[in-house]
Structure 1
Amino acid sequence: MTKIHVVGVGLDGSVGVSEKVRQLIKQAKLLVGSSRHLDYFSQSQTDIPTERLLLGDLSQTITKIRQHLKQGTNPIVILVSGDPLFFGLGRLLLAELPPEELTFHPHLSSIQLAFNRLKIPWQDAKIVSIHGRSVDELISVLQQGVEKIAVLTDATNNPRAIASLLESLSLPSQYKIWVCENLGGDRERILEIPNSQKLDLRFLQEEKFSLLNVVVLLRHNKNKELNLNNLPKLGIPDDCFACFSDRPGLITKREVRVLILGELALHPRQVVWDIGAGTGSVSIEVARLFPSSQVYAIEKTAAGISLIHKNCDRFQVENITAVAGKAPNILLDLPKCDRVFVGGSGGSLGEILNVCAQNLNPDGVVVLALATLEHLNTALSWFKSHNWEFKLLQVQLSRSVPVRELTRFAPLNPVTIVTAKFPKILTTEH
C-alpha cells in the first residue's frame, strides 16, 4: 500500500482536484505543502485530525517525512504545483525517498495550460526552465531558431529578462511572444506581444507581471524591415538577412564575415566566386562594397538559391548571379575569377580547390572558412602538396548577453579562416 501520495494542485485549489484525490487528502495523517497549498485545504475539510508540515527547508522536510514513515504515520500527502514530475518536486522526492512508497497524482502543468489557452499544438515544443537556472539553454534554442519554446521563469529570469536577451542576440528569426500569468486561477491573464521589434520589447520590459507566469515564444518568418540608408557599409547585422526557416542560425556570422572580407583583399571590377553561398550573406557584402565587381553565388540547394534571390532584392544589389548546382562541376561553366570564398564544400573540398587553381587569375586569392578539423586537414594537405602560400586565422569570438542584472559572454562556434595564394615563382639571375 502506498504510504506517500504526491498531489499536484492548480491555482483553482481544492476545486480542481478529483474526488478520489480529495479523499486521499482527507485521510492523510500528515499533510505537507507550501502555505498557499495548505490554505487550499482547511482543517475543517478533513475527517480526522491531520498534522500539517510547512514545506520550507527541503532537507528538514525530508527528515520529518522519514520519521513519520518509521513511526507508521501514514498515509502522507505532499501538495505541489501542477505535475510533480515536470520540473517539479517529484524528482527530488524520488532521489530522497523509496520510490515504491510514492504515488504521483499530477494536475495540469502550466505548460499544458499555456499552449491550450493559446490554441497552439505543443507536441513539438521545446521546454526550457530558467527558474533558478542559467539562461544558456534558452540562448542555445533561440540561436537554433526552434519554432516553439515555452519558458519557465522566476523572479529574476522574468519576461523582462527574456526581452533583453532577445534584443541582445540579434537573431535572424523573429518571435511572437506571449506571457501567460496565473493560469487556472481567478487572475489569469494572457498578454500577447505581436513581435520582437524594439518598441514591443520596451513595452514588455516596462510591464508588471505576476511571479506565476510562463513565456511562450513562437517563431515566425517575417523578415525585419530594412532601411538601406541606415545599414553599415561593412558588417551587415545578421538579422537583416532572409535565412533558412528551419535553420535560421545557418549564416556566416557578422564578425566572421568582416574578417573574411578583409582576407579577400577585394578591389573594384573583380570576378568573385562565393562557393557554398547559403543565404548569400558574403556575396551581398561583396556586391555592396564593390558594385563594379561581378559576384557568382554558387549554391546546391533550391532553398539557398531562393534565399540568395530574396536577399538580392532586399538589399537591392544587381551584380550577383545565383548559380544553382554542386561544386566542383558547376564551376567549370563560370568565367575565370580573381577571388574565391569557400563557405561550404559538400565534402568535395580537394576537387573544388583543383578547379579553383585552374581558373584563378594571377594574384588571385582563395579564402576558406572551416568549422571542422577534418576539412582543415584536407585544405592544408592540398595547399602543401601544391606549394601554395597560405596563412591561418583561428577565430574564437563571443558576444555579450544580459544575464539577470549582469552581462556575460556567449561564444560563437569557432572558425578557422585559411587565406591562400599561388606559389611565388623563384627566378635565378645569370
Structure 2
Amino acid sequence: MRADNPDLVTVVGIGAGGWSDLGRTGQSTLAGAQVVLGSARQLELLPESVTASLVPWPSPLLPALPGLLAAHEGKRICVLASGDPMFHGIGATLVRLTGIDRIRVIPHPSSASLAAARMGWPLAAVDVVSLVTGPVDAVRRYLNPGRRVLVLSRDASTPAAVASVLTSAGYGSARITVLSQLGGADEALVSATAADWSLVCDPLNVIAVECGDGPRLSLVPGLPDSAYETDGQLTKREVRAVTMAALAPVPGEFLWDVGGGSGSIGIEWMRSHPSCRAVTLESSPARCATIRTNAAMLGVPGLEVIEGRAPSVLAGLPTPDAVFIGGGLTAEGVLDACLSSLRPGGRLVANAVTVESEALIAAAYARLGGSLTRLTVSRGSPVGGFTGWRTMMPVTIWSVTT
C-alpha cells in the first residue's frame, strides 16, 4: 500500500478525549484531509484547524458507503472511527468493501481496552460482545459462573436491557458497572446488581459484567434436553453430541440445518464459536417460532430461521461448509440437493430413525462412502423402587466429506 495512493482512505480512531488525545500522525492526517467522514458526535470533536469538508454518516450507513466513497473520489479522505477501527469498527467494514490496498488505519485504544484498564481486568481473560448492531440476547452465550464480560453498548438503553437479560437468565446478583465517556473529561462510572438496576446512563458507554454465581451452561455440544423448548422434535442430548462431533464445526464456518425441529443442531453449532453461522430450515410455522425462542434464550439470536420445505427452500442460500439433515430425509431430491450444494471438502451428516430413511442413507453410503454409526441410547429411570433402563429409538448417523 503506497502512502501517496490517490484512492487511499485513512481511518483514524478517536476517543471521547477528542483531538488532544490523538497522536501526531492522526492529527496531521486529519489536518491534511479534504473530506472527513464520521458520526456527528465524532465530527464535533475536531478543531477549526481541520478545514476539510465534514460529512456526517447517513442512516442506514452500510448501503450508503460505496456511494459516499465514489462521490469524493480523488480527494484526500479520512474516516473517523470510535477507538480501534479494526475492533468491531468501521475499519473492518471498509477493508471488506474496498480491500486493504485502499485502506490505512491509525488506531486509538479501544473502548474495551480502556474499560479493562479502569476495571483492572486482564483483557485476554475477558469476553467482549458487541451490541452496537446486535440483539441483547447475544449476551446469554457468555454467561457462566465467575465470568467477566465487557459489553459494547448501542445507546443509553443498553445497560437496562442487559440487566433484564441477566436477571431472566438467573444472574440477578451479577455486578454491572457502566463506564461512560471513557477517556473524556466527563468520564463516569456507576455500578449496581442486575436485579436492582435503575440507573440512568450516558449514551456513550461500555458495560462491565461480573457474573458471580448463576446457572452453568457448557459451550461443549450436548446441552441438556431441558435447555430447549420443544414439542418432542428434538435431537436428544447423546445423539446431538455425536452428531456435532461428526459435523466438526470450526470458527467461521456456515451450516445448513435441514428439518430444524427445535433448532438444537443449528444452535449448538453457533454456540461453538462466535463466528460460526447457521441457517435452520423448518416447514412448521410453530416450530420456526420455537427455534427462534430457543436461539435467543441460548445466546445465538443470529440463527437464521427459514420456513419452507426442502429441496425448494434451499435455492439461493449461501454455500454451506456443512449440512445436517435431521428431518425430511426421504423427501424426493433433498439428499442430492444438499450434497451438490456443499463446497469441496464440506461435510454432510444425516440422521435416520425410520427403516425408509435408514435404507436411503445405506444406499448413499454404498455409493459415496463416508462412515455409518448406529447409536442406541438407554437412560436410567425409576422402575417402582428400583432403577431400570429405558431405551430410545436407535439412530443411524451417516457422515461424508465431499
TM-score scaled to structure 2, two decimals?
0.53
1:362 corresponds to which residue? none
Give the alignment partner of residue 43 of structure 2, picking from 38, 43, 51: 38
CA distance in 2, matches of 1:61, 1:249: 39
SS of equivalent residue, structure 2 residue 182? coil
Give the alignment partner of residue 419 of structure 1, picking from 373, 381, 392: 381
Matched, 1:84 2:82: no
Gap runs ≥5 in structure 1: 222-237, 257-369, 377-394, 399-406, 424-430
Stretches (4+) displaced over 4 A = 246-250, 252-256, 395-398, 407-413, 415-418, 420-423
SS of equivalent residue, structure 1 residue 94? helix
SS of equivalent residue, structure 2 residue 108? coil
How far did residue 253 of structure 1 move? 7.5
Q: Percent of pairs identical after alignment? A: 23
Question: Do the aligned residues in 1 keep the contact of 2:155 with 2:205 (CA within 8 Å)?
Answer: no
Please list the CA deviations of residues 229-251 of structure 1 after superposition, one character each: whole Å capped at 9, or x if unmatched: xxxxxxxxx86xxx7xx96999x
Question: Do the aligned residues in 1 keep the contact of 2:137 with 2:297 (CA within 8 Å)?
Answer: no
Matched, 1:16 2:18: no
Quick one: structure 1 residues 153 and 103, their matched pair in 2 at CA, closer, same or farther if it must change by over 3 Å?
same
- Report the RMSD for the aligned CA atoms in angstroms: 4.0
SS of equivalent residue, structure 1 residue 178? strand
How far did residue 255 of structure 1 move? 6.2
2:237 corresponds to which residue? 371
Quick one: structure 1 residues 168 and 375, their matched pair in 2 at CA, closer, same or farther if it must change by over 3 Å?
closer
Gap runs ≥5 in structure 2: 228-235, 243-260, 265-291, 300-376, 390-402
How far did residue 66 of structure 1 move? 2.3
In the TM superposition, 1:401-416 aligns within 5 A as 408=293, 410=296
Matched, 1:183 2:182: yes
Please list the CA deviations of residues 369-410 of structure 1 after superposition, one character each: whole Å capped at 9, or x if unmatched: x7212899xxxxxxxxxxxxxxxxxx9799xxxxxxxx9555
In the TM superposition, 1:44-83 aligns within 5 A as 44-46=48-50, 50-57=52-59, 58=61, 59-69=63-73, 72-73=74-75, 75-83=76-84
How far did residue 217 of structure 1 move? 1.2
Letter in 1 for 2:205: N
1:121 corresponds to which residue? 122
Question: Do the aligned residues in 2 keep the contact of 1:397 with 1:412 (CA within 8 Å)?
Answer: no
Letter in 1 for 2:238: T
SS of equivalent residue, structure 1 residue 108? coil
1:261 corresponds to which residue? none
How far did residue 51 of structure 1 move? 2.5
How far did residue 420 of structure 1 move? 6.7
Question: Do the aligned residues in 2 keep the contact of 1:131 with 1:157 (CA within 8 Å)?
Answer: no
CA distance in 1, matches of 2:15, 2:57: 17
Please list the CA deviations of residues 168-194 of structure 1 after superposition, one character each: whole Å capped at 9, or x if unmatched: 1124x953221111111122111122x
CA distance in 1, matches of 2:263, 2:35: 55
TM-score scaled to structure 1, two decimals?
0.50
2:257 corresponds to which residue? none
How many residues end up aligned between the 2 structures?
248
SS of equivalent residue, structure 2 residue 177? strand
Q: Which one has the largest radius of gyration?
A: 1
Question: Do the aligned residues in 1 keep the contact of 2:136 with 2:161 (CA within 8 Å)?
Answer: no
CA distance in 2, matches of 1:157, 1:125: 23
CA distance in 1, matches of 2:189, 2:98: 38
In the TM superposition, 1:88-127 aligns within 5 A as 88-127=89-128
